[in-house]
Structure 1
Amino acid sequence: MANEKEVMGVELASQVETYRPEKTVAQFEHATPEEEARVIRKLDRRLLPLVFVLYSLAVLDRSNLGNARLAGLQKDVDLKGGKYAWLGTIFYISYICFQWTQMGWKQFKPHIWCASVVLLWGFVASIQAAVKSWGGLMTCRFFLAIAEAAFGPGVPLYLTFFYPREKVAFRHGVFISGAAMANAYGGALAYGITQIKGWAPWKILFLIEGLPTCCFAVIVWFFLPDGILQARFLNEREKQVALHFVARNQRLDVGKAHGLRLKEVLEGVRDPKSWIPGLMYFGCNVSFASLPLFVPTIISSLGKWDKAQSNGLSAPPYLLCFFYIIGVCYLSDRLKMRGPFVALSATLGAIGFIILGVAKTTAVRYFAIFLSVQIFASVALLLAWTANIHATESKRAGGYVVLATVGQCGPLLGTNIFPDSDKPYFRKGMWISAAFCLLVAVLACSLSLYLIRENKKMAREGVPEVEEFEDTSVARSSGVHEKHRYIW
């Protein structure tokens, strides 16, 4: 094993010399929990604001179609009949077909990859303001999806390069809560923009929400680190501390910081445990992905508010969702449990959709929207759960491709279950969404029970609860400790 350790290394950011794990293990003085916490806080300050803002912009540029529709887009571009629904459908067809591009986060240097795709989607989102036909808007939505598929689905994988596996749920929660915040301030922003006179409000909407994304591409280029060893804001001791806690109970790609291990990617794709979260993600997306497109319309159809007010009133439910995601992901990390919190969030969502399916009172239906959007917290937890199931970086990449590809098929159904003919109550869409929320809850409980059983089996086999850097970094080559205990 010693010889194998000697030939492994990690490329330093600005040096050609080799980073040797056996040297680190021999010289490393184990960090205290307080020291690890300080390093994690430094990582949080650099990484979380960037990924939060970027994902917020991504979701804003993706979901502002519902607000633009109420701001005059439907009339100016002639979105009669099923044309509007097709704008959502074409986005997700493209989004699904290009999910494999998320592996670019592992194959290439993240700062280059991320800056490139952010610039691309910002450009496409902005030029939507210039479209004059349904065909032009369809083309923009198709290419917008390609850029966003290369960005958002890969961020959870990127975050696992920096954090202990038992602490990624909170970081994924911060990242994914950017979507809830985008839907919250997107509604408020759309309300303000619709008050502007003189130029088509939907054009201003696309420009104001698209151009800042292009500016953030420059920030990403200079401030997004490629990995722990390339993080200039960490000193050498802090880098070693980070390497050790990231390698705890999962394996580092020592010697191949960038570049995929194809065999491990395929292992992640073939693993049945990749497909169950994918089915749960599908259910979440059937229920949630359609909401940003149709919540303003649903609120407007309640009959109490005009279109501009409906845009503004779509914000509060997502604001609550933002705080709920942060809270539930924090508890998930503290208790080291994923499945029960996925099931809880899905059940809350189901209750909300059931109320929307039966109630007619305006206040009750508006309250139910606050419950319905909580299904989105399950998405954040599924991102962490998928990372916890797969121990290597490349296998996680394969698992995330399955998760996202299967999961993103959900919006193809979700964007077509609220036809205008079902106004004002959209009962069919509500019942379908409730059913899929309940499916997510059942699958989450089933997977948790299976992983608990597997952990008991590994305990009988002598698989340790905690494996440190010296074991996990060379496990794939040596054959030592191929198994890891699961977080259920």
Structure 2
Amino acid sequence: MSDIEKKGSLDGSAADQLETVQTKEGIHTFVPPTSQEEAAVIRKLDRRLLPLVFVLYSLSVLDRSNLGNARLAGMEDDIDLSGNRYSLLGTIFYIAYIVSQWTCMGWKQFAPHRWCAFCVFFWGFVATIQATATSWGGLMACRFFLGVAEAMFGPGVPLYLSFFYPREKVGFRHGVFLSGAAMANAYGGALAYGISQIKNQVAPWQLLFIIEGLPTCLFAIPCWFFIPDSISKAKFLTAREKDVALHMTAKNQRVDVDKQEGVRVKEMLDGIKDPKSWIPALCYFGCNVSFASLPLFIPTIISEMGTFSRITSQGLSAPPYVFCFLTIITLCWLSDKFQMRGPFCALAATVAGVGFIINATTTTTAPRYFSIFLSVEIFASVALLLAWVANIHATESKRAGGYTVLATVGQCGPLLGTNVFPEGEGPLYRKGMWISAAMCLMVAALSVVLSCWLIYENKKMDREGVPEVEEFEETSVGRESGRQERHRYVW
């Protein structure tokens, strides 16, 4: 663990506020940063991390959800998708995705820049070679390995971001990351519409897989060179900026400064066993039942309203996701500002539930299309849940355990979600709409329950005199000696 030393010029007030920080090498002085310094460091981290993870997750969701667009672009003319074969293509992806969720801990176990570059190239390669499939069996194999590759990447990014940001600021960053999915579904429909117009010897659905898969492979290169492994190893930060970043990030949670790589198995198991890990996981399950089916079936649902052609439906699937993108950013920013996760998670889920109910109870085109704008808002709840798990668990390895529970239980949702809109239920898909509405309302109810639980725990800590804020020295080596480990929850 590197020494934290006095750096930079001091103004009168800062000089009087020197803190002692205990490290393995001894006790050193540290000048608490000003708010301007903290803001400058956050901006530096944002500029390096957020654009890259946003684009990568956007490509990830594009490569997994373009199956619906490929279907409308003529895939079923070349590959037999009769019966439930199309639904099984979505199901096999999520089976592989679920059984591979434990790989998200690779972000903690290995150097993140290497892990990320490998994952990105792996899924980009598999996404591209889908274009070479000549049978349903071949496409099923591609979808399985795509699920494995994407499980290695996406579920671990929220854990990775929690290594760099204070817990009160991580919600917005998770929102930016996850909003890449909304934008992928938005421009994915527009891109599919454009590709469908291309006249070529290669079928439009094959071009779709190639044009959307190859850029992902290329993005493995910037991942290798630009993804920092940790605050201490971030070359774009000065020594003082690293100390400021560590000081901010270590408040009310622990930063493994002396153990940048490798999972602490006991803490990881504590995260898995903690009951507070399982309520967000059940919420995530409900979100995924509702949301996982939407990218696969929205183009089909719109086309079967009876008003729009199959090609026009591709383009009309984009606007609801643009609205969803704006909602995610707004709610996550407000969640950070007010330091509340549950109420905003419940709000987004309730709005989405109303959207599904409208679609389930009407038959005309206008209200059904409008309801899709509301239904996709369930994805905002996902962004808030990712931040909530980071706020519940104080250590990096415990967060790894919490995220493993979240992702493993939550990703079982798509197994149901990808099968609630069977072809025989069209064009209204009543059963799927009601199931999705019920799941959204379940998410809202569980969010309220968890919030009340955490409020109770915070009040209990008030009575017991647990410090409101635990500083850096309380969250690093001091934890190894059994000192204060409890921290206040963000509810």
The TM-score range, normalised by the shorter chain, is over 0.9
1:5 aligns with none
Q: Tell me, yes or no, if the aligned pair for 2:175 and 2:328 is still in contact at 8 Å.
A: yes
Q: Tell me, yes or no, if the aligned pair for 2:22 and 2:28 is still in contact at 8 Å.
A: no
The CA deviation string for residues 4-24 of structure 1, in whole angstroms up to 9 with x for no partner, is xxxx569xxxxxxxx983679
Compared with structure 1, are the counterparts of its residues 137 and 25 closer, same or farther at alpha carbon in structure 2 (3 Å cutoff)? farther
1:451 aligns with 454
**Residue 331 (structure 1) aligned with residue 329 (structure 2):** no
**Aligned residue runs from structure 1 range 197-212, under 5 A:** 197-198=199-200, 199-212=202-215
1:441 aligns with 444
Q: Give me the whole-angstrom Cα distance separating, in 1, the residues matched to 2:457 and 2:219.
A: 44
**Residue 290 (structure 1) aligned with residue 297 (structure 2):** no
1:50 aligns with 52
**Aligned residue runs from structure 1 range 78-477, under 5 A:** 78-198=80-200, 199-477=202-480
Secondary structure, counterpart of 1:385 in structure 2: helix
Q: Give me the whole-angstrom Cα distance separating, in 2, the residues matched to 1:27 and 1:258.
A: 26
Secondary structure, counterpart of 1:166 in structure 2: coil
Compared with structure 1, are the counterparts of its residues 24 and 217 closer, same or farther at alpha carbon in structure 2 (3 Å cutoff)? farther
The CA deviation string for residues 9-43 of structure 1, in whole angstroms up to 9 with x for no partner, is 69xxxxxxxx9836797321100112101100000
Instruction: Tell me the CA shift for residue 426 of structure 1.
Output: 0.4
1:486 aligns with 489
Q: Tell me, yes or no, if the aligned pair for 2:356 and 2:436 is still in contact at 8 Å.
A: yes
Identical columns (%):
70
Secondary structure, counterpart of 1:27 in structure 2: strand
Compared with structure 1, are the counterparts of its residues 254 and 360 closer, same or farther at alpha carbon in structure 2 (3 Å cutoff)? same
Secondary structure, counterpart of 2:340 in structure 1: coil
1:63 to 56, 62, 65: 65
Task: Give the number of aligned pairs.
Answer: 473
Q: Tell me, yes or no, if the aligned pair for 2:72 and 2:311 is still in contact at 8 Å.
A: yes
Instruction: Tell me the CA shift for residue 140 of structure 1.
Output: 0.3
Instruction: Tell me the CA shift for residue 475 of structure 1.
Output: 4.0
Taking structure 1 as the reference length, the TM-score comes to 0.95
Taking structure 2 as the reference length, the TM-score comes to 0.95
Q: Which amino acid aligns with 1:250?
A: Q
Q: Structure 2 regions of 5+ residues with no counterpart? A: 4-20
Secondary structure, counterpart of 1:26 in structure 2: strand
Q: Tell me, yes or no, if the aligned pair for 2:24 and 2:477 is still in contact at 8 Å.
A: no
Q: Give me the whole-angstrom Cα distance separating, in 2, the residues matched to 1:256 and 1:177.
A: 31
Q: Tell me, yes or no, if the aligned pair for 2:22 and 2:473 is still in contact at 8 Å.
A: no
Instruction: Tell me the CA shift for residue 254 of structure 1.
Output: 3.1
The CA deviation string for residues 132-167 of structure 1, in whole angstroms up to 9 with x for no partner, is 000000000000011100000000000000000011
The CA deviation string for residues 219-268 of structure 1, in whole angstroms up to 9 with x for no partner, is 10001100001111110000000001010000111321100000011000
Q: Give me the whole-angstrom Cα distance separating, in 2, the residues matched to 1:33 and 1:425.
A: 54
**Aligned residue runs from structure 1 range 19-34, under 5 A:** 21=23, 26-34=28-36
Q: Tell me, yes or no, if the aligned pair for 2:155 and 2:403 is still in contact at 8 Å.
A: yes
Q: Tell me, yes or no, if the aligned pair for 1:57 and 1:182 is still in contact at 8 Å.
A: yes
Q: Give me the whole-angstrom Cα distance separating, in 2, the residues matched to 1:412 and 1:251.
A: 35
Q: Give me the whole-angstrom Cα distance separating, in 1, the residues matched to 2:24 and 2:458.
A: 29
Q: Tell me, yes or no, if the aligned pair for 2:247 and 2:471 is still in contact at 8 Å.
A: yes
Q: Structure 1 regions of 5+ residues with no counterpart? A: 1-7, 11-18
Q: Which amino acid aligns with 1:142?
A: F
Q: Which amino acid aligns with 2:418?
A: T
Q: Tell me, yes or no, if the aligned pair for 2:292 and 2:418 is still in contact at 8 Å.
A: yes
Q: Give me the whole-angstrom Cα distance separating, in 2, the residues matched to 1:170 and 1:23.
A: 36
2:15 aligns with none
Q: Tell me, yes or no, if the aligned pair for 1:475 and 1:482 is still in contact at 8 Å.
A: no
Secondary structure, counterpart of 1:181 in structure 2: helix
Deviates more, 1:336-345 or 1:197-206: 197-206
Deviating 4+ runs (over 2 angstroms): 19-27
Q: Give me the whole-angstrom Cα distance separating, in 2, the residues matched to 1:482 and 1:466.
A: 12
Q: Tell me, yes or no, if the aligned pair for 1:9 and 1:20 is still in contact at 8 Å.
A: no
Q: Give me the whole-angstrom Cα distance separating, in 1, the residues matched to 2:104 and 2:432.
A: 30
Q: Give me the whole-angstrom Cα distance separating, in 2, the residues matched to 1:135 and 1:63.
A: 19
Q: Give me the whole-angstrom Cα distance separating, in 2, the residues matched to 1:440 and 1:238.
A: 39
The CA deviation string for residues 27-81 of structure 1, in whole angstroms up to 9 with x for no partner, is 2110011210110000000000000000000000000000000000112111111
2:16 aligns with none
Q: Give me the whole-angstrom Cα distance separating, in 1, the residues matched to 2:133 and 2:64.
A: 16
The CA deviation string for residues 64-119 of structure 1, in whole angstroms up to 9 with x for no partner, is 00000000011211111100000000000000000000000000000000000100
Q: Give me the whole-angstrom Cα distance separating, in 2, the residues matched to 1:305 and 1:130.
A: 30
**Superposition RMSD on alpha carbons, in Å?**
1.3
Q: Which amino acid aligns with 1:180?
A: A
Secondary structure, counterpart of 1:74 in structure 2: helix
1:4 aligns with none
Compared with structure 1, are the counterparts of its residues 382 and 107 closer, same or farther at alpha carbon in structure 2 (3 Å cutoff)? same
Q: Tell me, yes or no, if the aligned pair for 2:232 and 2:257 is still in contact at 8 Å.
A: no
Deviates more, 1:365-374 or 1:478-487: 478-487
